[in-house]
Structure formats: C-alpha cells, structure tokens
Amino acid sequence: MKKALFLLFALASVAFAGETLQAYSVLAAVVGLGIAALGGAIGMGHTAAATIAGTARNPGMGGKLMGTMFIALAMIEAQVIYTLVLALIALYSNPFIG
C-alpha cells in the first residue's frame, strides 16, 4: 500500500513537472472529496438504517422520525458541500501559487 501511494505521488509530480504544487493541490482536492463523499455516504446509510429500524419498532413515530432523518441528512450533506467548496478554492484560487 505504501508503495502504491508513493508511486501515485511520484507520477503526479512527474505529470505536472513544472507545476508540482498545483499537481499536489489537484491530488489533495480529489482525495479530500473522495474521503468526504465516503464519510457522507456511510453517515447517510447509518441514518437511514436507524430511521427504518425506529419506524419498524414504532410505526406511529414514522412521520416524526422521517422529519428528523431529513434534517440529519441535510447536515451530513452540508459537510460534503463544504469540502467541495474548499477543494474548488484549492484548485482555482490557490494561495500557495504565486
């Protein structure tokens, strides 16, 4: 795994030989978005599973649980959107590239 990660970084720096900092910014943006999307998807899955289990145990609370679930899903998705915004800032107005 370490060799593959090292090879990925080496190839990224060779591919953008003159602009290595920009290449690492692109790589960081892609990896950051991937991790954020993965975490958001896991969180959404757990939220939906808990809501379904709660509705199965007490069907009368289904409407209230659904409302709470949608609020939780919006908050989880907001974290992914914040990561997207930071990745776009790193890509297009990178403060490290002068």
Where are the chain's structural domains?
23-92
**What are 1's two structure tokens?**
């795994």
State how far the Cα of 95 lies from the Cα of 23, in Å rounded to an integer. Answer: 14
What are the tens digits of pLDDT across the range 25-73? 778 888 888 899 999 999 999 999 999 999 999 999 999 999 999 999 9
> Is the model's pLDDT at 3 over the cut of 80?
no
* pLDDT class of 5 with cuts at 50, 70, 90: confident
Between residues 15 and 55, which one has the greater pLDDT? 55
Residue with tokens 């998807």: 41
Among 1-15, 49-63, 72-86, the minimum mean pLDDT is found in: 1-15
Task: Give the distance from CA 51 to its chain's centroid.
Answer: 22
If 0-12 CB within 10 Å is exposed, 13-18 middle and 19+ buried, where does residue 28 land? middle
| CATH 3.40.50.2000 assigned to 23-92 | no
**What are 70's two structure tokens?**
């949608």
**What are 82's two structure tokens?**
């914040």
> Is the model's pLDDT at 77 over the cut of 80?
yes
Question: 45: closest CA among 56, 33, 53, 55?
Answer: 53
